[in-house]
Amino acid sequence: MRHTPSGGSGYGAAATDSGLMSIGTVLNVLREEFPEVTISKIRFLESEGLIEPQRTPSGYRKFGPGDVERLGHVLRMQRDHYLPLKVIREHLDAMERGEQLRLPTLGRQRDGEAGLADGPTASRIARAELLAAAGIGERELSEWESYGLVTPVADGVYDAEAVTVSALIVELGRSGIEPRHLRAMKAAADREAGLVDQVVAPLKRHRNPQTRAHAEARAKELAGLTVKLHAALVQSALGVRLP
C-alpha cells in the first residue's frame, strides 16, 4: 500500500488502537478541512487508484493514517490547484520517491486583481484550465454549456465552482447519467437559488455595508440548508441513507 509521508496534519489522531479507521471515521476527520467531501468521493478516488485501503475479510475498508494523509493531499490539490487526477497521481508518486515538484498554478486570481469581473467569487479559471482540470474536451464542455450546467462568468472565464460541477458531471457520467439528464437538477437548483435570493434581497439592497455582509453570510447559510434538504429528500425518495 502506498502512503504519503505525514505532513503533521494530525489525521492519525482519530485512528483506533490498530491504527486503522473505517470510511465513516475518515469522512469525519477529512470534513474538518474539506466539509464537502463525501463517502462516494472517497470511494471514487479509491476506484481511480489514488488510495489503496486495506480490506477486512468481510470486505470493509480500513484506512491507515497514511491513507488519510494521501486523501488530504488529493483533495487539497483539487481544491487549491484544480488539477486532474492523472496529474495529482504523478505528483503523489513523485513525493513518495522523495522528489520535490512544484504544483502548477491554474491562473487563479483574487477579487480586486486586474482582468476579473467584480463579484463575491474568490477565484476564476480560464476555459483551457477548466478543460484540463475536468479532463474533457471542447465538445463536452460546449454540450454542458448548452444545458446550462456550466456557465462562464465572462468570456472564456469561469468561477471555481465550475470545476466542482464539472467533476461531478464526469462522475455521474461514469454511471450512465448523461448531461442531458441533469437539466432537471439545474432547473431545481435555479429555483432553490431564487428562493434564497428572495429572502436575502432586502438585506443586499441595504446601504449599510455590515448589513450587506450579513446578507452574504445569510445566503451561504440558507444555501447550505437547501443543499442538505435536497440531499435528504433524494435519499428519502430512493429509500437509501448514505453512511
3-state secondary structure the chain: CCCCCCCCCCHHHHCCCCCCECHHHHHHHHCCCCCCCCHHHHHHHHHCCCCCCEECCCCCEEECHHHHHHHHHHHHHHHHHCCCHHHHHHHHHHHHCCCCCCCCCCCCCCCCCCCCCCCCCCCEEEHHHHHHHHCCCHHHHHHHHHCCCCCCCECCEEECHHHHHHHHHHHHHHCCCCHHHHHHHHHHHHHHHHHHHHHHHHHHCCCCHHHHHHHHHHHHHHHHHHHHHHHHHHHHHHCCCCC
Q: Does domain 11-96 have CATH number 1.10.1660.10?
A: yes
Determine the pLDDT at residue 106.
Answer: 46
Averaged over successive runs of 10 residues, the pLDDT of the chain (243 residues) comes to 46 58 93 88 88 91 93 86 76 82 50 35 73 86 94 86 87 90 91 90 82 84 88 88 66
Identical fold between 11-96 and 105-177: yes
pLDDT value of position 183: 92
Architecture of domain 105-177: Orthogonal Bundle (1.10)
Q: What is the model's pLDDT at position 204?
A: 81
Sequence ranges of the domains in the chain = 11-96, 105-177, 180-243
* The pLDDT value given to residue 134: 81
